[in-house]
Structure 1
Amino acid sequence: MIKRLRKIIKNILRYEVDIHKNESLKKIVGQKSELLILGSAPSINLLNLNRLDDKFIISTSNFHEHKDFSSIKPDIQVFAASH
């Protein structure tokens, strides 16, 4: 599943993708309205992350340390190997 997700994310980053027309992405995202990828840069603290219930959330890096992590409940948390 991770390899498939990686391929889908690469395609999303290259092109604007309608998640409801992309069958492989639709299977993963389901009925959610949007797919968001959240990182752990300091600027994440400037965003209002309270209304993400209808979004499919992929969080990366140290996002699990964010103060609202348990209420945001990302659908997928991706950990990268440290450098």
Structure 2
Amino acid sequence: MKHMDYELSRLQKYSGISTNEFCPEITKKPVQDRNHFAMLYTFPYITSTCDRVRLFVRNAVSWSSEVNRARVACECEKIVEMTRG
């Protein structure tokens, strides 16, 4: 999990988008997803736009060697799945 924290801090630095922009409170927990290890990041509320959240996650999938798939469930909007392809 430390490596994921490192990757997240790098992503924030290079994208110029901080997770604090979305919500100062973030929880994370490891989960099993389709026989793969996954990390679930949860914000209790969003102080930014869903488009900004999706941009951050899209960058994570594009730039990170560790993240090859992500799902964004933002408020009442449809869940968006992003996959590096």
> TM-score, normalised to structure 2's length?
0.27
Higher Cα radius of gyration: 1
Q: What TM-score comes out, normalization by structure 1 length?
A: 0.27
Which one has the bigger strand percentage? 2
